[in-house]
Amino acid sequence: MSNIGVLMVSGVYYPEVNGAANQCRQLVKSLRRKIYFSVLTTTRNPSSQLQFQVDKTDVYRVSINGRGIINYCEAIIKMASFFLFQRKNFQIVHLHGFSRKSVLLIALSKIFGKKVILKMTSVGHDDPISIGQRSFFLNYFFSRVDGYVGISPRFKMLYRESQLPSDRLIQIPNGVDTKQFCLVKDSERERLRDELGLPDKMKMILFVGHFSKEKCPNLLLEAWKLCVFNKFPDTGLIFIGSTNPNHYEVDSGLVKDIQLLADPYIDKHIFFIESAQEIEKYFKSSDIFVLPSIREGMPNVLLEAMACGLPIIVSKLKGVTDWVINDGMNGLLVDPGVWDELGRAIKRILNDNVLAESLGKEARKTVLDGFSVERVSAECLKLYHRLIPSA
């Protein structure tokens, strides 16, 4: 192991999950024999353990018990105290996404001579242009980062529009564990469906994401109900994602609308899964993956579905999904926000088994060639050594 210590900072961490947390954990698991990692994260679950180990790596949680100013100040004090007590154990602070807590950690890093890496996670949220439009204060600390990681070409485009130094940006995509997310035989798919309580013979269409207006799960439901179900009554939907109205990414009104539309089909054709620790089982149990989002950075779930050899239907987002998906070759691209076009794409795959198999095969090959966790980890290791060259 080298003498480089890296503090990974993520909004949540295992067993709580989201895309950024999953990528953070994969990187830690892949490089922990070469880099000394520790993890700083937050939780709103009052029963969560605040200090523990995941994958033989120390994880420290700061509990956020409410949304008021007192709770916010308490969280800031806890984070600052952690940084001060642990600062000798790391030379690099690796932020997975930019939020208000990032300002504190960047300020402390500059005071104590730590290098800061920011992995930008979502276009329209933590890219340089969006941050610059939010406030001068946030933009100032955003600009003090030593290395920016863009996970898709769209971040590179936006970065070039900013006034930030060009030599601080590196493009490193999200990565997938291609052994965990892999192809399965029909017999294994049947076994998994039985384990998960899913119908045996039904063609299952999978959605993974929070119930938010940006993820557009309602669009998939409308496309299936109005366009697909009448012609293909042996199809169903799996929605995996939080419906908790207290979650900052969940739109409670959207959840109510979806549950009302889905009510006649629940547990017959439509299945809601609040969270899944072994989410790969659902990918391996499904027949089609659909991601109708209107905003993304580089969706992990897209790459995971591709690694499992699923035919993909995804919204065409410039510099994000159209960078990964070659329309008609390794997936289908549809215009965002158009339910009938999405419905036609689903029917196209259901009508053509040869096309479905070909799209899935090419999707898997795309991930193996450019998005494996080994390749991504190697690029991150180079970045760490570039920032701490004497290590």
| 76 compared with 18, residue with greater pLDDT | 76
**Checking DSSP bridges between strand 270-273 and strand 235-240, what pairing results, if any?**
parallel
* Edge-to-edge order in the sheet of strand 57-63: 51-54, 57-63, 36-43, 5-9, 92-96, 115-119, 147-150, 169-171
Q: Can you list the domains of the chain with their CATH numbers?
A: 5-175+372-387 (3.40.50.2000), 186-370 (3.40.50.2000)
Amino acid in position 304: E
The strand pairing partners of 88, in sequence order, are none
Taking the whole predicted model, whether its pTM rises above 0.85 is answered as yes
27 — alpha (psi -120 to 50), left (phi > 0) or beta?
alpha
**Checking DSSP bridges between strand 92-96 and strand 51-54, what pairing results, if any?**
unpaired
The strand pairing partners of 277, in sequence order, are none
Average pLDDT score over residue span 301-315: 97
| Distance from C-alpha of 342 to C-alpha of 291, rounded to nearest angstrom | 10
Residue 3: band (very low, low, confident or very high) from pLDDT cuts 50, 70, 90: confident
Residue 268: band (very low, low, confident or very high) from pLDDT cuts 50, 70, 90: very high
| Distance from C-alpha of 44 to C-alpha of 60, rounded to nearest angstrom | 14
Alpha helices in the chain (DSSP H): 19-31, 69-86, 100-111, 128-134, 136-142, 153-161, 186-196, 217-223, 252-262, 280-285, 300-307, 321-324, 339-351, 353-370, 373-387
| Residues sharing a CB contact under 8 Å with residue 120, sequence separation 6 or more, in sequence order | 97, 98, 126, 127, 128, 148, 149, 150, 151, 155, 297
Write down how long the chain is: 391
The pair of three-digit structure tokens given for residue 157, joined into one six-digit string = 């485009």
Average pLDDT score over residue span 61-74: 80
| Residues sharing a CB contact under 8 Å with residue 81, sequence separation 6 or more, in sequence order | none
Q: Which sign, positive or negative, has the C-alpha torsion 233, 239, 243, 249?
A: negative
Do residues 19 and 299 lie in contact, with contact meaning Cβ atoms separated by under 8 Å? Answer: yes
In percent, the amount of the chain with pLDDT more than 90 equals: 77
**Checking DSSP bridges between strand 270-273 and strand 169-171, what pairing results, if any?**
unpaired
Q: Is 60 exceeded by the pLDDT of residue 391?
A: no
Residue 164: band (very low, low, confident or very high) from pLDDT cuts 50, 70, 90: very high
| Distance from C-alpha of 31 to C-alpha of 381, rounded to nearest angstrom | 8
DSSP codes, 271-324:
EEES--TTTHHHHHH-SEEEE--S--SS-HHHHHHHHTT--EEEE--TTTHHHH
The strand pairing partners of 60, in sequence order, are 40, 51
Average pLDDT score over residue span 217-229: 95
| 249 compared with 173, residue with greater pLDDT | 173
Q: Which sign, positive or negative, has the C-alpha torsion 150, 156, 160, 165?
A: positive
Per-residue model confidence as pLDDT tens digits over 332-374: 999 999 999 999 999 999 999 999 999 999 999 999 999 999 9
Residue 66: band (very low, low, confident or very high) from pLDDT cuts 50, 70, 90: low
Q: Is 90 exceeded by the pLDDT of residue 41?
A: yes
SS3 category, 330: coil
